[in-house]
């Protein structure tokens, strides 16, 4: 039976209140830009990579990397990308490169900074195994799809290998990808880490999500919504409703377990992540739409995440 709205907000609001504290701290001048950059460096460069490393090193890969889970989530993500791309082109008459960037906004949900804490708040830390399976291939899948489409839109794919090479090098230096890769290395090798090392990593992990949520709020001050609001609302509609709806329908048809269904749909229902602005900025297109979609989508997620939690209860 669906829970009343008050109970659902009790689950989601603490996450967004921490984001709001960070936003207010910067807006009121209580937390500096330098502090924001330092906090994001700590969370995204150290604490969250430790979280992903520890989770994947202890993950039962055979049980959690199941094709129904990954197909349900990523078919929904690809459908969101197609809807964003075609909607931007046909409904809003955007140039093809802009349309690809807008499609990417509908593709890249905030699987780590929002998906993990909301799933944990709603269903407990033990419910995150499927989240980690999704997160492990999220960035490679999304960037591969987005870059391929962008290169085709810009120059028929002539620069795709060069672009992929640059992005691949960047991703190999990305702390999140390094944490994931090291987690797989430990998991697959069966290596037993010293207990003191594991405990040190666990101490870092405890700070990861609260600090990252506060930092996300600080960063969102930089992405003020301005102009193109119909396009931004369209992005939010696709990302917050279409992607999770397709994931839910496919999960039902594949007989996805209740736990995996929750993780897949909640992750799909998250607002666009900051990576969508990074992607738009990398190619110099649709930056205003991407920045506004991050802010508006994150704010709207307070209610939309509660609605999806109601469906999944």
The arithmetic mean of pLDDT across residues 133-154, rounded, is: 87
DSSP state of 242: I
Q: Which of 68-77, 139-148, 168-177, 226-235 has the weakest average pLDDT? A: 168-177
Strand segments (E) across the chain? none
The arithmetic mean of pLDDT across residues 239-263, rounded, is: 96
Give dist(CA 143, CA 152) in Å, integer: 14
Helices (H) and strands (E) in the chain, counts: 16, 0
Q: Which of 5-14, 73-82, 129-138, 249-258 has the weakest average pLDDT? A: 5-14
Instruction: Tell which wins on pLDDT, 79 or 62.
Output: 79
Average per-residue pLDDT for the chain = 89
Quick: pLDDT tens for 103-130.
999 999 999 989 999 999 999 988 999 9
* Class of residue 259 by CB neighbours under 10 A (exposed 0-12, middle 13-18, buried 19+): middle
Look up the pTM and report it. Answer: 0.85
Grade residue 88 by pLDDT with cuts at 50, 70 and 90: very high
Joined together, the tokens standing for residue 230 give 């119909």
The confidence score (pLDDT) of residue 160 equals 62
Residues ≥6 apart with Cβ < 8 Å to 61: 187, 188
Q: Is the pLDDT of residue 157 over 60?
A: no
The arithmetic mean of pLDDT across residues 193-218, rounded, is: 92
Joined together, the tokens standing for residue 34 give 């330098």
Joined together, the tokens standing for residue 293 give 């979609």
Q: Output the CA torsion 100→291→284→229 (10° steps).
A: 60
CB 19 within 8 A of CB 298: yes
Q: Is the pLDDT of residue 1 over 50?
A: no
The confidence score (pLDDT) of residue 77 equals 97
In sequence order, what are the beta bridge partners of 272?
109
> For tokens 């430990």, what's the residue?
186
Grade residue 138 by pLDDT with cuts at 50, 70 and 90: very high
The closest alpha carbon to 57, from 188, 204, 146, belongs to 188
Joined together, the tokens standing for residue 19 give 């984001």
The arithmetic mean of pLDDT across residues 301-308, rounded, is: 91
The arithmetic mean of pLDDT across residues 205-225, rounded, is: 87
Instruction: Tell which wins on pLDDT, 194 or 281.
Output: 194
Rg of the chain over all Cα atoms, to the nearest angstrom: 19
Instruction: Tell me the HSE value of 151 on the side-chain side, using a 13 A CA sphere.
Output: 16
Q: 5-312: which CATH number, 1.10.940.10, 1.20.1530.20, 1.10.357.10, 3.40.50.620?
A: 1.20.1530.20
CB 311 within 8 A of CB 147: no
The confidence score (pLDDT) of residue 283 equals 84
The distance in angstroms from the start CA to the end CA of the chain is 7
Written as one string, the DSSP assignment of 16-78 is HHHHHHHHHHHHTTSS-HHHHHHHHHHIIIIIHHHHHHHHHHT--HHHH--HHHHHHHHHHHH
Grade residue 175 by pLDDT with cuts at 50, 70 and 90: confident
Instruction: Tell which wins on pLDDT, 11 or 99.
Output: 99
Q: Is the pLDDT of residue 177 over 90?
A: no
Q: Is the pLDDT of residue 5 over 60?
A: no
Instruction: Tell me the HSE value of 69 on the side-chain side, using a 13 A CA sphere.
Output: 26
CB count within 10 Å of CB 90 equals 10
Task: Name the phi and psi angles at 162, rounded to 5.
Answer: -65, -45
The confidence score (pLDDT) of residue 8 equals 66
Task: Name the phi and psi angles at 196, rounded to 5.
Answer: -70, -35
The confidence score (pLDDT) of residue 163 equals 67
Give dist(CA 78, CA 197) in Å, integer: 39
Q: What percent of the chain stands above pLDDT 90?
A: 60
Give dist(CA 283, CA 98) in Å, integer: 9
């Amino acid at each position: 039976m669906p829970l009343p709205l008050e109970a659902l907000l009790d689950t989601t609001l603490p996450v967004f209140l921490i984001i709001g504290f960070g936003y207010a701290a910067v807006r009121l001048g209580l937390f500096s830009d330098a502090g924001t950059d330092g906090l994001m460096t700590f969370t995204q460069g150290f604490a969250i990579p430790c979280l992903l490393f520890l989770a994947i090193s202890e993950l039962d890969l055979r049980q959690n990397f199941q094709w129904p889970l990954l197909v349900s989530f990523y078919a929904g993500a690809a459908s969101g990308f197609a809807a964003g791309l075609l909607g931007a082109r046909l409904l809003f008459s955007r140039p093809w490169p802009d349309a690809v960037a807008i499609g990417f906004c509908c593709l890249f949900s905030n699987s780590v900074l929002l998906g993990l804490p909301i799933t944990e708040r709603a269903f407990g830390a033990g419910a995150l195994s499927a989240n980690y399976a999704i997160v492990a291939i999220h960035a490679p899948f999304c960037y591969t799809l987005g870059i391929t489409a962008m290169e085709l839109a810009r120059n028929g794919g002539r620069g795709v290998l060069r672009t992929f090479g640059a992005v691949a090098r960047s991703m190999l230096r990305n702390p999140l990808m390094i944490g994931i890769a090291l987690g797989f290395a430990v998991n697959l090798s069966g290596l037993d880490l010293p207990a003191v090392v594991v405990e040190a990593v666990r101490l870092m992990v405890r700070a990861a999500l609260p600090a990252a949520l506060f930092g996300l709020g600080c960063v969102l001050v930089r992405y003020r919504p301005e102009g193109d609001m119909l396009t931004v609302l369209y992005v939010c509609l696709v990302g917050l409703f279409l992607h999770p709806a397709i994931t839910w329908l496919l999960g039902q048809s594949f007989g996805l377990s209740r736990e995996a269904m929750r993780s897949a749909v909640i992750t799909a229902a998250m607002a666009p992540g900051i990576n969508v602005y990074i992607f738009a900025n990398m190619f110099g297109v649709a930056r205003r739409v991407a920045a506004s979609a991050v802010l508006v989508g994150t704010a709207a997620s307070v209610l939309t995440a509660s609605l999806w939690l109601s469906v999944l209860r």
